[in-house]
Structures are given as C-alpha cells and as structure tokens.
Structure 1
Amino acid sequence: MPDSKAPQSHNDMPAQRLCNASLAHLPEGVSTPGYDRSTLTAGVLHVGVGNFHRAHQASYFHRLFELGEDHDWAIVGAGMMHFDQAMRDKLASQDWLTTIVELNPEGFRASVIGSMIDFIAIDPGALIEAMQDPQIRIVSLTVTEGGYFLSAETGGFDPTHPAIIRETGKGHPPQTVFGAIIAALKARRDQGLAPFTVMSCDNLPENGHVARATVLGLARMLDPELADWIEANVAFPNSMVDCITPATGPREIDLVRSQFGIEDAAPVVCEPFRQWVMEDTFPQGRPSLEKVGVEFVTDVAPYELMKLRILNGGHAAIAYSSALLGHHFVHDAMADPLIAGFLNKVTVEEILPTVPVIEGVSLTDYIAVVARRFSNSALGDTIPRLCLDGSNRQPKFILPTIEARLSSGQSVKGLALEVALWAHYCAGARDDGETIRLDDPNAARLRERALAAQDNPAAFLAMPDIFGALADRPDFVRAFSTALQQLQTNPTRTVLANYLAS
C-alpha cells in the first residue's frame, strides 16, 4: 500500500478475528454497527457479492441502518459462479461482516458494516427458492459488464450466446442468474405473489434497460407468455453507481490487520468518494436511501453519460498510455505531466462536448474531482486493473463517444489516439521492451489483430463485435491509422508530447 497518513499500528497486540463476538473488542477508532443485527430482516437479495457491492450498496444500507431506519431491508448475498463460493466461505466465518477501509490521503478510516445477514448456498435451486420469499422485494445485481449477454454488434441481448443456448436446453436447472430470476418470477406469479424489482448496480449505460432486455430476451425463448407478464409487471430501474474499489490481496489484508487490528478474510479498501443516482421506480417499496445521500431522479441518463464518458472514459485514456510507459499505480501515472495532460486535453476537447448539461451540476468541477480521485496516492489503484477487459470496456466507454463526435462532424484525433494506444498495448510490448500480459477474454484475437496492424493499421479494427460500423468510417480509420503508425515508429512519450503540442 502506498505511503499515507495511516492510523497507529496495532502490531503490538494480536488482531481480533472479525465476527459478531469480537465487535466489542475491536480497537478504538474502528466504527462498528450501532444497530442490533439480530433484529434485521431481509428485503434485498444481491447477486454478485464482490468488493464494489460491499463498498457501495452494502455501505449505503449500513449507514441507513445506523440512522435506525428500514431494518427490514437487510441484504442476503447470492451467487452462481465458482468464485462466489470462496466469498461465501470467507464471509460465513465472520458472520457476514466486512471491514471497509476508506483510503483518504488525509487519514485512513475503518468501518465494520453489518448490512448483510445471510448468503444463499451456491446452488440454483436455493437461489430460486430464496427469491420466492415475499420479504424479498428487490433483487440487485453486480455481475460485471460482461455478464448480461449483450451483442457488441447490436448492443442488445444476444440470443446466440453459448450460455443462453445452454439455458434454453431442457432437463437442467437454470445456469445463469437471469434464468434463476425468470424461474423465481414465474413461481411468484403462480403463487399470486407480487414480483420483486430487478435493480442492476453494474457499471453499464442504462443498466436497468440492459437487465430488462436480458431477462425479457431469455424469457421469450423459454416462455413467451411469462415474458409478457414480466414486461407488464416487473420494474428495472436505471442507476448510476460510482466508487473506485481496488481488488483485495495480501497487501490489503495485511493493512487491515496491522493498522486496525482486525483479522478479516475479505476486507475492502476504497476511495472516500461515493455516488449513487437512481430512478425512483420500486413498485414494492424501497428503503429510504435518500437519507444517506442517494439521489433519486426521473432520468438517470445524463448522470450516467457524465460518469461513463468522463470517469470511465478517463480511466481508459490513461490506462494504455501509462502501461506502455511502465507505470504501475494510477497516482504515479497522474503525476506524469504527459499522462495528466493527455487526460485533460482529450476530456475537455473531445469528451466534454458530448456530455449533456445537468441542472445544478458543474461538469468542469466534475472533471477536476475525477482528476483528484485518480491522483489519490492512498488508493493504490493499479494500471493493470484499468487495462483489463479492454474488448468489453472500449465499446462502452470510448467508442460511443467517437460515434457521437463523428455524427456531429467533429474531430476524434485524441480519442483515435486512445484506441491506437490500446492497439499498440495489445501488440504485447512496453516501450522499455518488457512483455505485456493481456488480461482479456479475447486476448489471443486482440494480440493477433494488433500484430497484423503493424503492416496494416486497419486490421485491428476488423473486429465487428467490438468496433461495429466504426471500422467503415473513413475519418476514424484515417485518424486511428495515423496515430498507430506514429506509436509504431516513435516512443509513446514523443507521440503524447506531439499530441499535447498540436
């Protein structure tokens, strides 16, 4: 963990293993639940209990419970992936408690949150049964951007995805969370129970609409009549979620042990910033989250576009340039004038004009806040994390902005350079000659296309599932090809400096 103003070490005393029984014995300065967890009852079933869910949604619920509000809205965890079992095992050993450490450079702060009260066994039947419980009024999701079975070519539900084809086979229980949701909704309908609201908390444009399209698309393949009932009766509110949350490894576990005296098998470290903007569409009711800072609005889309293009697009802008230059930590990259300059120039000149004005929100202030968040030296966020899964992230965070600018007849020089930096990164070598390991489900294909692009830059764009119609836009192809050829014949620093001087 980078140097920061951390609390005094607790190395002189044995760490307390996190569980209900140890809460009263944790070191002074560690915040613990001020509510009686034994009185909490479930209202939300959440699928995908990772770091982001606990830093974001579970933390908001914890703060609401601290106010003495809505104790019938506690969270029950769930999952269907092999790694969900490992998380369940870790949290079960500590009574579903989690230590959240906010990494503020001015001083770290640790809170033990208790808003989760159970975690369903990793079994489709158990999940479907749990979702039938009338107490469960919201089923929420963080299943990653790639977990919604979308077609990159159409942007909608992909009925040809292998997992979806398997899901429509006969004689086996649901294999996807969406199959389980459909089965549970059918059971609730047949029992005369009101349906739950499906609340996506994933970092996706129009995440509620995406969740709805996937549920309805699969339901129509399984039971068209049920699909009609879901379409008429189930709510899928859109939301915008934001909190930078690095992965947990031995370093983070050791930080919680040494600095806070807590032995937590799965702690979470995150930045102190959080934002959650939601459509207020919950037919079966919802907790009073506005009391702890959640913004309920009629239309999430402008907030979502602001975040996806400026923050997520900004992450993409610094990711591949920083990796090529050998930076490991995001805050170190932001201390490099060329990286910070590239981020600011492409954001102000090309991204900002595509973001709609939001009443009461200063977009220039938002850009400055994003830059400060990226520069947080205490966070320890890494460039490799920003680089992973580019074939899924670029079509969501960069390519739509390019499309918007091209449609308005505007230059895409900076954004084309960002795509070229990604292509050059995919070729597999940093500027110092060190090998780059691609962490992407399409790694082999990306490497093959990037190497082919050394002779023909447009070869990298010949992936319709990623680039779609952009590969046929001469102005984009020209700008991309020029940028990639510059990177292939000059050091990355030279190319960035030339762009900043242009």
Structure 2
Amino acid sequence: MTTKLSLANLASLPAGVARPKYDRSALKAGILHFGVGNFHRAHQAVYLDDLFAQGRGHDWALVGAGVFEGEEAGRQKLAEQDWLTTVVEQDEGHMSARVTGSMVDFITPGDGAAIIARLADPAIKIVSLTITEGGYFIDPASGLFDPTHPAIVADAQNPGAPKTVFGIILAGLRRRRDDGIVPFTVMSCDNIPHNGRVTYDGVVGLARLIDEDLAGWASDHVAFPNAMVDRITPATTDRERAILAKEFGVEDNWPVFCEPFRQWVLEDRFTDGRPPLEKVGVQFVADVSPYELMKIRILNGGHAAIAYPAGLMDIHFVHEAMAEPLVRNFLDKIEHDEIIPTVPPVPDTSLEDYYRLIERRFSNPKIGDTVRRLCLDGSNRQPKFIIPTIADRLKAGKSVAGLALESALWCRYCFGTTDSGAVIEPNDPNWDRMQATARAAKADPAAWLAMEDIYGDVGRSPVFAAAFAHALAALWANGARVTLTRYLAGTL
C-alpha cells in the first residue's frame, strides 16, 4: 500500500518519511531557478528546506523556470504533487527519505513573457541556474562566451522575445532597471570553472550586442557570485520509483536519489540580500577558485577517467566500475601521477583526503549512478574537466601518458561500439560529429586532435599527439582491458 505524494497527503505519509517542518503556505518566493532537474532538487532545494525547517528565510522559496518545452514533462510531474519532491539518500548500510517543500511554483517552460514578468517582481532577489555545462554558449577551445552562436544572435536581433536563458535574464534586468528596482543576483550552480564569471560573460556579452548602456549597467550593478557545488545525483528511472514505493510506501512521480554527501562553497556577493545559508552548512568564502579547481579536476576529471574504460567494458553502474580493479587502479594512478599534482593547495583541505572521499563516493553501491551518465556530453565536459589539466602538464614538461590514454578511451568510445561489439547509442549533443571524427581517427589519430574547438593548443602539441596516437593504437589492437593492464604495469 502506497501513499501518493501531495500536500493533502503529507500528514498521512508513512512514519519513516520526513516531511517539511514548516508551514508551506507561509513561504514567499524569493529565488527563480532555471533548470529544475535532479541535481537542483537534491542540492539547493534541500539546503533551503533545511533552512526553512529552522524557521529562517521563509521569503526565499523557489520558483522553477525553463526555456525548453521538453521541461514541461517535469513540471507536470511536480505540479501533480504540489511541487513536493521525495529525496532519498543512500549509501552502504543507510537509506533515508524526506519530502522537501522549498519549491512553491514552476512557470510553464518556454513562456518567456511569464518568466520575464516574474523576474521583474521585486520579491525575486536571486536567479539561480543549473542548465548544464552546455548551456552557457562557451567556445570550448577558448573557454570564452561565443557571441556568434545562432541562439545568441537570434536573441540579439529580437530582444523583446528572447529564447535563451541569458536573453530572458537580460530582459528581466532591463525591466527592473527601467522600473528603478534593485537588480537580482545571478547565481550559477553548475559544474563549470568560474561559473559566476562565465554567467556574467553570457549576460553582459549578450547585452553588448543589444545595448551598450544596458551592458554597462548590468556590469556595474548585478552580482554574479562563483560557486562550487557537489552531490552525486543520478537520473530517476522506474527503478528509483519502485524502490521508494517498496521501501517507504511513497508514490512520487519524480523522486531524487542521491548520496548523503553534499557541499556548496559560495562567494558572498549579492546585490539584494541572500538567505542565511551558512546556518545549514553552506561555506561562504571570498574566493571559490581553489575549491572549484580541486573539485573539477579531482572529482569531475575522475569521473571522466573511469567513464570511458568502463563504457568500453560494458559495465553498467559506476560502483561496478569501481569494483573492477583495472578501472579503480587506473583512476588511482592517473589521479596521483597527473591530476592531483596540478591542483594548488586548498584552505584547510588535504587533497589526499579529498581524493579518498571521492573514491568512496564513486564506490557507493546504493546510488545506481550509471556509466552512461558519466560518458554523456564529452564534447562539452572534456574541455572543462580534462584538457586544462593536460595543458598544465605540458607547460610543466611533465608526463601526460595517463591523460592521453583517457582521451584515447573517449575517442574509442565515440566510435560507437564497445570492445564486445555492442552498439553505443548516441551519448553526446554532437554525437554525429564525434562519431565521424572517431572513425576517421582509427586510421589517422590526428583527426581527433584536429577538433580545434575542443583541444585548442593541446591538440597541436607533438608530445600529446604522440602519446594519444600510441594509446589509441593500443586500444584498437588490444582492447581496453589489455591496454589498461599494460599501462598500470608501466609497459604500455
């Protein structure tokens, strides 16, 4: 017997399920969030739920928003349960469920006029984003905002009816400026280096194409704090819904399963106040950069290191990949030999302890995170999580053998078959291009590195090119298992 999640049924949920310890009817919207996905609902929404439970910050509730019509399916799922979400934390020997109530509305995705009207409301003081690495219109090779992207050009030509997140945010800021309302803070919660600066570049860069005065005003008056966010949160499938129903007796259209660990390091720069999130574990700092670089290189780079060999070995779950000695030892060697040495000291943090924590988190058997998710969107992720580390190693004259092998594993994965011959379904927004290039690279490895927008100067390095070609040839000749065995033995 299960209980359908809804506001009316909160009191009748099974005793083992925690629920909001505050009056949701007393909440007032203060944050508009673009990109209502699993990570947001397991991270920012949970921190706010904890804050509201303390009787604090009740005027900082969340309003969801999105620019893609495809997001409507998620909105409908949440609307049916009054914007409530069940968050299930799992690791070995532990599982708990709680219902969060920090979201109070969700504007119809793609309704730019409605979103802009809400952005103009003085009650909205923060606009936050989890729009994934690919949502910022960044040129991968330069790492800079691309003002020539067709979606940006379209918004610049028609600023009254914008379609991108940045265009809609800018329209909201313009209205607030014209109405004499203090601008909101724009707060990225995505896993990209210097995410606040990148968001600034997108908003102000678009403004420069439309109105230099508006661009100057936004640059002078809007805050774009950098942040480091962390919590492993896989996609929701029928598996998760069934576990929730069986173990906790709750029927939820879109529950979130995640690890117990979470982290949020945030620069304390806001234009019109902020919730007192330090009361619930958010770390406010003057400079996020050391924490951000540590996480992006050790954790996100580590994800990439285990993803592609595991994918080629037909391993389904991440914890299963970590149980495979070849994958686990490859991760350990590439981290200690090539990745961690590029990470500068972080205040009050042991990099070795941080790595060991990451290793344990990757090995969590309860999360159900998939190797395919880690392999997703390499064309956007590799330039942020791996290639800058290669560049630093090359500049220092250090070995890049492990990182070249990681890059070769990615190339081999994009060919579209595993070592067993199983077909890999498209797993990148640019899959057609990646697959065609990977197929050309089988005979000519230089074709892969010639993707200037991805590899930039790294692709032109003779040292890296030689190491990459050697690793790719080994993968094609011997497969991932033998190649990893030889790399770990020092005989590749």
2:61 equivalent in structure 1: 74
Matches within 5 A, 1:59-98: 59-98=46-85
Counterpart of 2:367 in structure 1: which amino acid? Answer: L
| 8 Å Cα contact 2:124-2:184 kept in structure 1 | yes
Unaligned runs of 5+ in 2: none
The partner residue of 1:322 within 288, 310, 319 is 310
Deviation beyond 6 Å, 4+ runs, structure 1:
none
| 8 Å Cα contact 2:159-2:210 kept in structure 1 | no
1:9 equivalent in structure 2: none
Counterpart of 2:251 in structure 1: which amino acid? Answer: E
Counterpart of 1:212 in structure 2: which amino acid? Answer: Y
Counterpart of 1:274 in structure 2: which amino acid? Answer: R
Report deviation, 1:469.
1.5
Report deviation, 1:93.
1.1
**Other structure's SS at 2:442 match:** coil
Q: If the length of structure 1 is used for normalisation, what is the TM-score? A: 0.96
Q: Structure 1 residue 372 and structure 2 residue 360: aligned?
A: yes
Report deviation, 1:221.
0.4
Distance in structure 2 (CA, Å) of the matches to 1:436 and 1:180: 36
Identity of aligned residues (%): 58
Report deviation, 1:283.
2.4
Report deviation, 1:172.
5.5
2:369 equivalent in structure 1: 381
The partner residue of 2:282 within 282, 288, 294 is 294
Distance in structure 1 (CA, Å) of the matches to 2:390 and 2:108: 44
Distance in structure 1 (CA, Å) of the matches to 2:125 and 2:442: 54
**Other structure's SS at 1:168 match:** helix
Q: Structure 1 residue 309 and structure 2 residue 329: aligned?
A: no
1:22 equivalent in structure 2: 9
**Other structure's SS at 2:143 match:** coil
Distance in structure 2 (CA, Å) of the matches to 1:176 and 1:465: 22
Distance in structure 1 (CA, Å) of the matches to 2:333 and 2:436: 31
Distance in structure 1 (CA, Å) of the matches to 2:162 and 2:442: 45
Q: Structure 1 residue 99 and structure 2 residue 81: aligned?
A: no
Q: Structure 1 residue 186 and structure 2 residue 174: aligned?
A: yes
Report deviation, 1:103.
1.3
CA RMSD of aligned residues (A): 1.0
Unaligned runs of 5+ in 1: 1-12
Counterpart of 2:126 in structure 1: which amino acid? Answer: I
Distance in structure 2 (CA, Å) of the matches to 1:238 and 1:145: 15
Report deviation, 1:170.
3.3
**Other structure's SS at 1:421 match:** helix
The partner residue of 2:241 within 244, 250, 253 is 253
Counterpart of 1:262 in structure 2: which amino acid? Answer: V
Report deviation, 1:443.
1.0
Q: Structure 1 residue 336 and structure 2 residue 328: aligned?
A: no
**Other structure's SS at 2:475 match:** helix
The partner residue of 1:142 within 119, 130, 139 is 130
| 8 Å Cα contact 2:383-2:455 kept in structure 1 | yes
Q: Deviations for 1:175-200, whole angstroms, at most 9, x for unmatched residues? A: 11111111111111111110000000
Q: If the length of structure 2 is used for normalisation, what is the TM-score? A: 0.98
**Other structure's SS at 1:326 match:** coil
The partner residue of 2:228 within 237, 240, 263 is 240
The partner residue of 1:221 within 200, 209, 219 is 209
Distance in structure 2 (CA, Å) of the matches to 1:65 and 1:312: 31
Distance in structure 2 (CA, Å) of the matches to 1:416 and 1:107: 38
Distance in structure 2 (CA, Å) of the matches to 1:275 and 1:410: 32
Q: Deviations for 1:295-348, whole angstroms, at most 9, x for unmatched residues? A: 001110110000000000000000000011111111111011110000000001
Distance in structure 2 (CA, Å) of the matches to 1:382 and 1:76: 29
Report deviation, 1:167.
1.0
**Other structure's SS at 1:490 match:** helix
The partner residue of 1:348 within 318, 324, 336 is 336
